[in-house]
Amino acid sequence: MKLYAWGALAQGVVLESVRRKDLWVVAILGFLIMMAAGTLGFFGMQGLQIFVKDLSVSVLGMFSTIVAILTAARMLPDEIKQRTLYPLLARPISRFDLIIGKTIGSVLVSWIAFLVLAALTGIALLTFHVKFEPIMLQYLLCKMMGLALTCSLAVALSAYMTPAAGATMSFILVFGSSMITRATMMAYIGAAPELKPVIRIFTAIFPEFTLFDLGGRVANLNWAPVPVWVVLFLFGYMFFYSSSFLGLAWLKFRRQAV
Amino acid sequence: MKAHLLLISVLGGAGAFSLNAGNVTPIVNPPVRVSGLDAHDGSAAASLLGQFRTNNSAWLWVHTDQYLHNGVHMRPITDAERKAGIQIEGPRADSVIYKEVSITLVPSPERDYRGIVGDVDRAVNAWKPMKNHTHNDPMQTLPLFRLMTWLDPQFIDGWTTGASVLARDRSPAGTAKAMKLLNEGLAQNPDSVDILTEIAYLDITRKNDLNGAIPLLEHARELGFSHLGTIADNERDALENTYHWLALCYRDTNRPLDERRVAAQGIGAFPDDKVLPHLLAGTAPGDSAKEADSMRVGGE
């Protein structure tokens, strides 16, 4: 394992993101959140706390996912398009190292964006005396694992598709994950017996991104933190699927003519 | 050649239609109160803004239900699920706010074949067993009704359900607040059968003021009956209630002829109604203020 190389590549992605002013977008979104919170303050926060918390975690999850996908989906294609890949590959690193390092970088960018947005949202909500329960910490942790999985998916898809197509497919899979899973499970009940095993296999393979979103528990009152085994399971789930996605990306990228 | 003929025919037809367009009288163009997306159909910009407002109020409406269940997502049960023997996860009898024929969106263990992934899904989401479930205090959702009616003043259900929540406090103060909200809604939607009927409902059940309710119900009946074929479903349900209560009010104010007239018209409009035939026959005993609650179409 070339941890030093991965670290250097990841650092490059973060610096590139700062240089491209991607994180400015996050700051602007944060400002919009504050403005929106101010508008809601017009109605008085009494009784609106749950609604505001719900809205906050939804916006937080949505914006950070957008940043994650847009950062991850364009990394490899941009390196190829701008021909900056050649000097990178001239160094003693493999294509596998490149994928891992770049993915770590995109995960870090999405985490920075997420934490900045979370901090701004937290400040906005504290202004209105809206309090979060301890489960908020688990929400942050699980969401960060979910963002890592999202970045891996976007990197994998960008290896097989154009950046735009990869990003679009990632959006569909990540934002549509809940709907696809629920619809599949509803279809299972009325499905013909010969179709049922197919549906079961599909459900088992299809990654459920919504498992990393504890927003429903955070927004509403008196939900206990999730058990430790669930967090550990989610870590394993993220590791397995991220490895699979990055493996798929590497299978394509290792033979790709650049 | 055939294509040319077809094109000429189409163009000719379009031309003839456009020449006569000014003379075309819409068959269905009643001055009826519209709701939902159609309410904002004045111009492209108004329509776009209106759709934004309607979407937001509808989103809030869905979330209100969710907050009553402390974040647990519910969804209607499907026919396939009914056939498969899945039972609805309804509320406890003393906790009924409105009719619920639903199950949890995140499946319960007996409906889930995913094993440990299903267990994790239930652990990370706001999920709990919802058979005989209770609700959060509906008063918590009042600001949301205020928000949704501010966003979309044509959203009738926002006004009426908000007022129902306020009227759960049966004190004069609670009734006054509900009345104030409904009157505000009526100012925004003067042709709403539902709002008029809701105000009359409070007059009957909270103030026992039958004579005050009758003019409101008569007005609602006239509005609804004149647009019977075009009113929205919620307004239609409200109109059915209007007939019930108006007939009951006439019965309790000793106006049997009016009672039968209203009941007969109501049966013409709602042939499947179970209450109106009794009122027409004069066989519906009791007290209108008490009966109003039990006869309500669609639940509270």
Q: Do B238 and B144 belong to one domain?
A: yes
In a domain, B216, yes or no: yes
Give B-chain residues touching A142 at CB under 8 angstroms: 124
Domain boundary among B124, B159, B184: B124
Q: Which residues of B touch A234 (CB under 8 A)?
A: 120, 124
Q: Which domain holds residue B209?
A: 138-294
Tally of domains within chain B: 2
The verdict on B116 touching A (C-beta cutoff 8 Å) is: yes
Coil, strand or helix at B35: coil
Does any domain span residue B167?
yes
The answer to whether residue B183 sits within a structural domain is: yes
Q: Do A220 and B71 touch (CB under 8 A)?
A: yes
> Across-strand partners of B75?
B103
Please tell me whether residues B85 and B199 are part of one structural domain.
no
pLDDT at position B300:
40
Q: Say if residue B288 is in the same domain as residue B154.
A: yes
Q: Does the pLDDT value for residue A223 go beyond 70?
A: yes
Instruction: Summarize the confidence of residues B76-102 as an average pLDDT.
Output: 76
pLDDT confidence of B32, banded at 50, 70, 90? very low
Tell me which chain B residue has its CA closest to the CA of residue A234: B120
Report yes or no on B280 lying in a domain. Answer: yes
Domain of residue B214, CATH code: 1.25.40.10
**B290 and B142 co-located in one domain:** yes
With cut-offs at 50, 70 and 90, classify the pLDDT of residue B50.
confident
* DSSP structure string for A27-95: HHHHHHHHHHHHHHHTT-STTTHHHHHHHHHHHHHHHHHHHHHHHHHHHHHHHHHTTTHHHHHHSS--H
pLDDT of residue B17: 47
Q: Please give the full DSSP string across A139-152, using - where no structure is assigned.
A: HHHHHHHHHHHHHH
Q: What is chain B's mean pLDDT, rounded?
A: 80
| A103-122 core/surface letters (b: 16 or more CB in 10 A; e: else) | bbbbbbbbbbbbebbbebbe
Query: Which residues span the domain enclosing A45?
Result: 3-253
Report how far residue A25's alpha carbon sits from residue A30's, in angstroms, rounded to the nearest whole number: 8
**Judgement on whether residues B224 and B100 belong to the same structural domain of the protein:** no
The answer to the question of residue B162 being in a domain is: yes
Most confidently predicted of A233-247, B1-15, B28-42, B118-132: A233-247
**pLDDT tens digits for B150-168?**
888 888 989 998 998 888 8
What would the mean pLDDT of A14-25 be, rounded to a whole number? 83
For residue B298, pLDDT over 50 is answered with: no
What's the pLDDT score for residue B294? 53
Put simply, whether A204 touches B (Cβ < 8 Å) is: yes
Q: Which of residues 3-62 of A touch B (CB under 8 A)?
A: 43-44, 46-48, 50-51, 54
Taking only the tens place, the pLDDT of each residue in A126-174 is: 877 777 788 999 999 999 999 999 999 999 999 999 999 999 999 999 9
The verdict on ipTM greater than 0.90 is no
**Lowest mean pLDDT segment, chosen from A148-157, A226-235, B60-69:** B60-69
Residues B166 and B287 in one domain: yes
End-to-end CA distance of chain B: 65
Percent of chain B with pLDDT over 70: 77
Give domain status of residue B1, yes or no. no
**In this structure, are B153 and B272 located in the same domain?**
yes
Q: Is residue B163 domain-shared with residue B42, that is, in the same domain?
A: no
Contact B117/A at CB under 8 A: yes
Same domain, B160 and B69: no
pLDDT in tens, B223-277: 998 888 888 888 888 999 999 999 999 998 989 889 999 999 999 989 888 888 8
A62-90 core/surface letters (b: 16 or more CB in 10 A; e: else): ebbbbbbbbbbbbbbbbbeeeeebeebee
Range of weakest confidence among B50-54, B161-165, B260-264, B295-299: B295-299
Number of domains observed in the structure of chain A: 1
Asked if pLDDT for residue A23 goes beyond 80, the answer is: no
Asked if the C-beta of B124 comes within 8 angstroms of chain A's C-beta atoms, the answer is yes
